[in-house]
Amino acid sequence: MPSESGAISRDEVAHLARLARLAVTETELDTFAGQLDVILGSVARVGEVAAEDIPPTSHAVPLENVFRPDELRPGLSQEQALSGAPAAEEGRFRVPRILGEEA
């Protein structure tokens, strides 16, 4: 998208704005052209730094899981789980119906 000189032009910014359906003023075209030029230059510099001998990573530092391992433990029985429920029916919690009431 950038012109052959490397800098993004006002016309290219206007074209991008039309594609994105953005209304921009003449002043904003100049501002955005400069900002986009800086962004594209930064991306180009990152591309220059990347080397073949550096493996791609998703994080700068290694991640380590700090949670306990999942271990099977005894849980509540159905009767125990329902013992404190205000209402139970057929082995399940009974709650008011909320779906299907709107017409």
- Is 1.10.3470 the CATH number for 10-49? no
Please tell me the predicted confidence (pLDDT) of residue 79: 93
The pLDDT confidence band at residue 6, using thresholds 50, 70 and 90, is low
In the chain, where are the structural domains located? 10-49
pLDDT digits (tens, 9 = 90+) for 36-89: 999 988 888 887 776 777 777 778 788 888 888 889 999 999 999 999 999 999
Please tell me the predicted confidence (pLDDT) of residue 99: 83
Task: Give the separation between CA 29 and CA 42, rounded to whole angstroms.
Answer: 20
Task: Give the separation between CA 25 and CA 27, rounded to whole angstroms.
Answer: 5
Average pLDDT over residues 2-24: 83
